[in-house]
Amino acid sequence: MDLTSLEPGQTLLSEPLVISIGDAAQYRAAVEDDAGLYAKEHVVPPMAVAAKLMTAAMDAVGLPAGAVHTGQELEFARPVAEGTELACIVMVVQNNLRQGTRFLVLELSGTEGEELAVAGRTTIAITEGEGTS
């Protein structure tokens, strides 16, 4: 995707996301989070949802390999049970070029039915000339 063409308000992604019991366990092992709450209550670590949303957003944009994550806002509205299907949306909020670096701000959300589960805003810096992948 041509990063220069991204417009504020543009929807980059709108698709379902399911984090299975296995996915949640794999995530907990990867981040070495030994808090027992998630396994005990069969809920997904909220950062696992955020991470999957981020990856989906980055894949949708086709960010170059050297893109760097510089800021992150997150809101966890409600716990997400393992295996729950979330409706995920990623939108462009800002797309600015400053001193040779492109700053892309994306808004992410994961909704269960009518209820917001996770929302966030991420800022990514891309050095111009790295191209797109």
Residues forming contacts to another protein in the complex (CB under 8 A) are 23, 26-27, 29-33, 35, 37-38, 41, 43, 45-48, 50-52, 54-56, 58-59, 63, 65-79
CB nearer to another protein: pick between 58 and 92: 58
Q: Is 89 helix (H, G, I), strand (E, B) or coil?
A: strand
Q: Closest separation between CB of residue 43 and another protein, Å?
A: 7
What beta strand segments (E) does 19-100 contain?
Answer: 43-44, 68-76, 80-81, 85-98
Q: Nearer Cβ to another protein, position 29 or 98?
A: 29
Supply the Cα-derived Rg of the chain in whole angstroms. 16
Shortest Å, Cβ 90 to another protein: 14
Residues 6+ apart with CB under 8 A from 26: none
The minimum distance between CB 69 and another protein, in angstroms, equals 4
Closest approach, Cβ 95 to another protein, in A, equals 19
Nearest Cα neighbor of 106 from 127, 86, 81, 126 is 126
